[in-house]
Structure 1
Amino acid sequence: MRSQQARSTIPDAAPVTGRGSRIASVDALRGFALLGILVVNIAFLASGYRMAGQAEPAFNAPLDWAVRWAVTLFLENKFYLLFSFLFGYSFTLQLGSAARQGRRFTPMFVRRLGGLFVLGMAHAVLLFPGDILTTYAAVGIALLVLRRITPRAAVLLAAGLTALLALAFVLLAVMTSAGLDMSHTVADTAAEAARSDAALVGGFAQIVEEHVRKLSLILVLRVFFQGPAVLAACLIGLAVGKLGLLHDTTAHRNALRKLQWIGFTVGLSGALFYTASAWTGTAHKFWGEAVDLVTAPLLAAAYAATFLRLLPRLPRLGHILAAPGRMALSNYLAQSLICSLIFTGYGFALMDRVSPPLEVLIACAVFAAQVGYSRWWLRRHRYGPVEWWLRHLTYWRRPASAVIQPDG
């Protein structure tokens, strides 16, 4: 079981918790991001229309639209950036751990990235083509190359990547306004979305075939757009990690307060523009994406700053979220598995039959179950099941003391 010292860390915002020198606030923030990712992803897992950028035609009630707007405004494109930031931050922790232990970091990290890529491909083909683990595997190589970069240079590079991506979407918007057809992405018509959903409520072979087809269609978007956005967020995490800013958040209250002011004013303004354009024509969507690329990181930063400032006052919430955050990889994959059992032919085949409000309720229920399961699992094990496998691969040996023995 976790020690009393571990329980005291969140209220005092201290860095080290429990066994293995984990940072409690980072685990809790990761759990918070995991919840946001699930609430966003469940809509794409429940309907091919959302993957096509369209509203599900069966749900047009005011409450349905209110939920769509709320999720798009407050959550979409924010929480995967927050998770990417934590990936970059964790990279610096792994570098430090390898240095303290006198281990060669590169071979270990490459094996880890290989494991992430294999998991990501299996996840994308079997469960959800919107997988991000393969992107992390690719971005991890870039982090490895850039691991000696200074914090200032990392921030400047992240800003440059973000600006270039925004300019790319501006170009797409201008080209679309000029009459060029730039709409063909995954499924740009209602008929195509309906065909996709019909395949996903079929048998195993049909589901896998449809996932592979979608992967081939979104590959360009993943490589040229999502990849650089993820790398930019990881670089910010790397800079923060190098500066050790999350080891004692109470020492940076003024900086966190400034992030809140800037993030909530500029970030929410950009999110509102993005949301208003998300359900309109393609040119408007591209303008919205351009604005969102610049402002979504600010809103994500405001969320993180607010969470970290509130954490000492809400220790119980921190402990609740830290458990799923400690085994985030296992829970991320489990979320897709559970949703696939609910919505596809793997299980109940409820594709396009669940309203947006009910999707959010299901997401909250799934996450609540994961909180309980994670707390139960971590009383008996040091790592989540997938984390244990990935650690085994990283160190090329069975992790020591995987099972925690009862005290006494």
Structure 2
Amino acid sequence: MSTPPRHDTAATPARIGDIDVLRGFALLGILLVNAQMMAGPYTGTGGGPDASAVDRGAAWVVTALVATKFYLLFSFLFGYSFTLQQRSAERAAAAFAPRHLRRSAVLFLLGLAHAVLLYPGDILMTYASLGLMLFAFRTGLPRTVLRVAAGLLGAVAVLLLAYGLLVISTTEPVRPEDLAAVASDSVAGYRGGPGSVVMENVRLLPHALAGNLLFAADLLAAFLTGLAAGRWRALADLGRHRARMKRIIRRGLPIGLAGGVFMAVCSNGPLDNRWFYVGRAAGILTAPALTAAYACGLLLLVRTRAGRRIGDALAPAGRMSLTNYLTQSLVLALVFTGYGLGLYDRVGTAVVLAGCLVLYAAQLALSALLLRHTRYGPVEFLLRGATRGGLPRTHGATADDSRRAEDASAVL
């Protein structure tokens, strides 16, 4: 029988296995969304005007059930892990601010390299920047922090709704031929050689950063929610929260699914492209409910006899989530750009998503294999070393294993 996830106790802090399980699960959602962005200009909407019903349906389902849900889960875990890193610094009698600044700086540089070389839609630079804002809330009361998070969600939803209604009332739908003209530059750039790929990434980077800035309040709200949950040690002993988790599922699923379906209707049809921001406003308000339902459902599942195998499969990938996130982009770039096969805008959405499942399964297997021989993933090893001012050991037990374990090393 599999060993259940370990949790920290007052006497001996231990790595919280549920965080790794949730990160491993979130990697799949991030992959399904990012792959559509990297595969072609139309993949996220099911393809161009001549796309098949299967491709359109596949993109519609991903928008309804996946888009905007899993980056919230990563962001929540980022905020939760912030509290673990705080406690780790306190136990080591080390100043937390320099550690956090070094971690944020390295994370930003990794994100910049990721955006320029592989995928301009990188989120790491945004995480690093918002992480500095998270530091300002490190001593805030959890309930106060949650009120700020709720205010941020409400504010960004109202702004998106107002802008979306303005777009609907003052503009005409964008014609397919106009979209094709805009997309043609990207198609040529990503099908060119490596230099062409980099230049196209650089060209698109300001647009991607503007999009991240638009949803920065949403990300920060998730960070703050994770911070509050970490203060309460909500993931340390989930056995006492089973009834509450079941209520979250019962209430969150209908709200989140309704919002996801409406967002898909606005983004992928039958409503026209002018409804995009109205749909995103609905998504901002309802996605947290579906994300919470997903997370609670998974955490309850892995506590069953059959579900423990799922948890055991997800946890290693979650322990090295940053390595896996960057590896996903590398593989997708090799498949879809001039770095490798150059299949940009040549593969249907359904095939892209099927390929994602194959890649994800490979990552689960390789992560488990790697972590049998080492304590960290390659990128986590470097990031932890930069954070602590010295590279950690990778093999064998150390006297301070229990102190190090609670500090969840993956940052996503």
Same fold (TM over 0.5): yes
Give the counterpart of 1:152 among 143, 146, 150: 143
Structure 1: any 5+ residue segments left out of the alignment? Answer: none
- Within-5 A mapping of 1:2-401: 8-10=3-5, 14-15=7-8, 21-50=14-43, 54-57=45-48, 60-179=51-170, 189-223=179-213, 225-279=214-268, 280-313=271-304, 314-399=307-392, 401=393
Q: Is the 8 A contact 1:49 1:190 kept in 2?
A: no
Determine helix, strand or coil for the equivalent of 1:8. Answer: coil
- Listed one character per residue, the Cα deviations across residues 147-186 of structure 1 (whole Å, up to 9, x for unaligned) are 1111111111111001111111112122213315898xxx
Letter in 2 for 1:245: A
Determine helix, strand or coil for the equivalent of 2:170. Answer: coil
Aligned mates of 1:243, 1:188 — CA distance in 2: 51
Aligned mates of 1:317, 1:218 — CA distance in 2: 34
Aligned mates of 2:111, 2:178 — CA distance in 1: 25
1:298: Cα distance to partner?
0.9
Counterpart of 2:407 in structure 1 is none
Aligned mates of 1:155, 1:233 — CA distance in 2: 9
1:55: Cα distance to partner?
3.9
- Listed one character per residue, the Cα deviations across residues 183-225 of structure 1 (whole Å, up to 9, x for unaligned) are 8xxx9722111221211010122111111111112332222x2
Aligned mates of 1:80, 1:364 — CA distance in 2: 18
- Listed one character per residue, the Cα deviations across residues 63-86 of structure 1 (whole Å, up to 9, x for unaligned) are 112211111111011001111111
Q: In 2 relative to 1, CA 188–105 (structure 1 residues): closer, same or farther, beyond 3 Å? A: farther
- Listed one character per residue, the Cα deviations across residues 325-347 of structure 1 (whole Å, up to 9, x for unaligned) are 00000000000000000010000
Query: TM-score if structure 1 supplies the norm length?
Result: 0.91
How many aligned residue pairs are there?
390
Aligned mates of 2:158, 2:300 — CA distance in 1: 34
Between the aligned residues of both structures, percent identity stands at: 40
Q: In 2 relative to 1, CA 210–150 (structure 1 residues): closer, same or farther, beyond 3 Å? A: same
Aligned mates of 1:98, 1:34 — CA distance in 2: 27
Determine helix, strand or coil for the equivalent of 1:189. Answer: helix
Q: Is the 8 A contact 2:22 2:295 kept in 1?
A: yes
Determine helix, strand or coil for the equivalent of 2:3. Answer: helix
Q: Is the 8 A contact 2:194 2:339 kept in 1?
A: yes
Q: In 2 relative to 1, CA 188–169 (structure 1 residues): closer, same or farther, beyond 3 Å? A: farther
Aligned mates of 2:331, 2:77 — CA distance in 1: 24
Determine helix, strand or coil for the equivalent of 2:200. Answer: helix
- Listed one character per residue, the Cα deviations across residues 7-26 of structure 1 (whole Å, up to 9, x for unaligned) are 5233xx7457xx98211111
Aligned mates of 1:193, 1:372 — CA distance in 2: 36
Q: Is the 8 A contact 1:172 1:182 kept in 2?
A: no
1:404: Cα distance to partner?
4.0
Determine helix, strand or coil for the equivalent of 1:110. Answer: helix
Letter in 2 for 1:342: V
Supply the RMSD in Å over aligned alpha carbons.
2.1
Letter in 2 for 1:352: D
Letter in 1 for 2:223: C
Q: Is the 8 A contact 2:20 2:319 kept in 1?
A: yes
Counterpart of 2:401 in structure 1 is none
Q: Is the 8 A contact 1:109 1:394 kept in 2?
A: yes
- Listed one character per residue, the Cα deviations across residues 77-97 of structure 1 (whole Å, up to 9, x for unaligned) are 100111111101111111111
